[in-house]
Amino acid sequence: MNLEDLKPEVIQICKEVGQFIREEAQAFDRSRIEFKHGFNNLVSYVDKEAEQKLVRHLKRLIPGSGFLAEEGTGSSSRNEFDWIIDPLDGTTNFMHGLPVFAISVGLAKHGKPVLGVVYEVNRNECFHATINNPAYCNDQPIRVSVVSQLNESLLATGFPYNYSDKKENYLEIIRLFLEQTHGIRRLGSAAIDLAYVACGRFEGFFEYNLNAWDVAAGALIVQQAGGRVTDFSGGNNFLHGGEIIAAGEVHSPMLELIKSQWFKKKA
Ligand code: IPD
Ligand code: CA
Ligand code: CA
């Protein structure tokens, strides 16, 4: 399997499905919002149809490949090749008319991501990488930021739909970063947050309660752009573990601060 030959086909599929999402965004009617688990976890026919279109086309590229996709295609059982897909990352933005959403398609070989495409639909920016090769935005090679100080950094994060008992720890981390950085952005799409770390727009990104489909493609793109991606302990369990820190040179101070707060017992 030549991943560099496969990648343009995956990009083309993402662009076609992106066109569908862009058209639906023009006339999206909020009465078509459905709820998954709770009042703030939204989904619509656009997410579901985009997923079906992606699956139909990607299946052709690698016969026998498996799927792990947000709107229900496939399962967590592992095949030689598995597509890990979020057909519309930034669903809440999409439904409120904010133009910040993306398609995220990762390909894992024996569970390890080897190809990633994040297509930011409204900017027509496609971030992509294969393992052991440079990362790109459209046809330009990209690198993570070389800024190494928190006080020169712009960070990104997300606020989980479902807060766990870690809420206080997380808010404290946000408070400390707000005091020590140029600021924190919450774009509403983890895939775009990661893509923007890969090209140096953000120095770093952290979030918890994410799923594999949010991060599989973007994390690989960050790594291939020279960045470091870990969980909150500094380990590698970020794909299925729900915690992620992705950054260029500020990864070390970010990890240090997050570690110092995340494992503290709160009353
Ligand atoms: C969400 C986005 C958001 C993140 C949430 C994700 P969705 O995905 O990536 O930035 O904070 O945790 O669930 O629901 O828009 O696909
Ligand atoms: Ca998502
Ligand atoms: Ca989604």
Domain end call among 142, 170, 190: 142
Q: Are residues 247 and 137 in the same domain?
A: no
Name the CA dihedral angle for 235, 202, 109, 240, rounded to a multiple of 10 degrees: 50
Identify whether 239 is part of a domain: yes
Among residues of the chain, what percentage have pLDDT more than 70?
A: 98
Q: Are residues 156 and 222 in the same domain?
A: yes
Q: Are residues 60 and 155 in the same domain?
A: no
Identify whether 132 is part of a domain: yes
Identify whether 62 is part of a domain: yes
CA of 180 to the centre of ligand 3 (A): 31
Considering every ligand atom, which ligand is closest to the CA of 193?
A: 1
Q: Are residues 120 and 167 in the same domain?
A: no
- CA separation for the pair 168, 172 (Å, rounded): 6
Q: How many residues does the chain have?
A: 267
Identify whether 267 is part of a domain: no
Q: Mean of the pLDDT values across residues 105-119?
A: 97
CA of 86 to the centre of ligand 1 (A): 9
Domain end call among 142, 159, 185: 142
Check which CATH number belongs to the domain holding 86 and give it. Answer: 3.30.540.10
Three-state DSSP class for residue 59: helix
- How confident is the model at residue 27, as a pLDDT? 84
Identify whether 241 is part of a domain: yes
Q: Which atom of ligand 1 is nearest to the CA of 207?
A: 11
- CA separation for the pair 78, 80 (Å, rounded): 7
Instruction: List Cβ neighbours of 235 (8 Å cut-off, separation of 6 or more).
Output: none
Q: Are residues 93 and 157 in the same domain?
A: no
Domain of residue 181 covers 150-262
Backbone dihedral angles phi then psi of residue 217, each to the nearest 5 degrees? -75, -50
Q: Are residues 256 and 188 in the same domain?
A: yes
Considering every ligand atom, which ligand is closest to the CA of 88?
A: 3
Three-state DSSP class for residue 235: coil
Q: Are residues 18 and 136 in the same domain?
A: yes
- CA separation for the pair 156, 190 (Å, rounded): 9
**Cα-based distances in Å from 120 to 78, 200, 208, 218:** 28, 16, 22, 12
Considering only residues 117 and 35, tell me which one the structure prediction assigns the higher pLDDT. Answer: 117
CA of 217 to the centre of ligand 2 (A): 12
Average pLDDT, the chain: 94
Contact 223, 238 (CB under 8 A): no
Q: What confidence tens digit (pLDDT) does each residue in 134-160 have?
A: 999 999 999 999 999 999 999 999 987
CA of 103 to the centre of ligand 2 (A): 9
Check which CATH number belongs to the domain holding 175 and give it. Answer: 3.40.190.80
Model confidence at 74: pLDDT above 90 = no
Q: Are residues 198 and 244 in the same domain?
A: yes
Instruction: Give the residue from 190, 236, 250, 234 showing the smallest Cα distance to 215.
Output: 190
- How confident is the model at residue 78, as a pLDDT? 87
Considering every ligand atom, which ligand is closest to the CA of 160?
A: 1
> Left, alpha or beta for 97 (phi > 0: left; psi -120 to 50: alpha)?
left
Number of domains in the chain: 2
Domain end call among 81, 116, 142: 142
